[in-house]
A = this chain, B = another copy of it.
Amino acid sequence: MGASSKTENDKTPKRVRMAPDERRGHILDAAQKLFFARGWDDVTIAEVLSAAKISKGGFYHHFSAKEDLLDGVVERFTIQALTAAQTARDATSGNALQRFNAFLAESSRWKAEQGRKMKFFIEVMLRPGNDILFDRITTAANAAAMPVLLEMIGQGVDEGIFDIPDIDLVGETIMGLSRGRRTVLKEAFDAAEQGDLDRATECLDRRMVAEAALIDRVLGLPRGSVLLSNPTEYRLMLRAIVND
């Protein structure tokens, strides 16, 4: 083959053709990384293009708009969150309270894992401008987990263990609390960055204890029924984050 100029010297073939799903995945990977690092509005299509090594035409062959990219990223998270929630539900048995506690534990474990995997995730979601991104992800993830949660609460009501004024409000309250953790996370993160891991851990832990006490009330349970705190888990997460 007298084509050394073809087989070897061509370091960059003009076109790399991929299966749609694969290409889509690559683009989403690049976009996700950028979005988490700097927020959705700040990142331009051009940047995603060069990060994903594809042309504009190629991109718009797979995505209809920039908004579509956001949807794609959010969708990934939703799917992950959903399967995680279902796994947690299916893996546990016993009465509603036991299942509920197991579910909360798994849920916070999953969140901590996300925080560990993506260095910027927590740091970034605390910055204004990323509200949209963060809000959409948490909303979608919560929405995915909500049916599972409500099912368990329903079971608790049927069993006569829980006593609640309105089932929708319970779900909402829990979602609201989880959203409000943003502030505490920021505080803990700042402390961790200054090397004060103890204070950071204690900060998160106190919050979780308080949340648990509040959920006790909301579900009409005696104090100490709901378990939400897991200091070692926080420690791991914070350590992973701080170590770049």
Contact = CB atoms under 8 A, between A and B. Distances in A.
Given A165-B217, A214-B165, A217-B165, A177 B177 contact: no
Interface in A12-42: none
Interface string A152-194: 0000000000000110111011011101100000000000000
Given A132-B131, A217-B217, A220-B217, A172 B180 contact: yes
A214 B217 CA distance: 9
A75 to B, nearest CB: 15
A46 interface: no
Contacts of A170: 214
Using C-beta atoms within 8 Å of the partner chain, give the interface range for chain A.
20 to 34
Interface string A116-145: 000000000000000110010000000000
A214 B173 contact: yes
B177 A211 contact: no
11 contacts: A135-B135, A165-B213, A165-B214, A169-B180, A169-B211, A172-B176, A172-B180, A173-B173, A173-B214, A176-B180, A214-B218
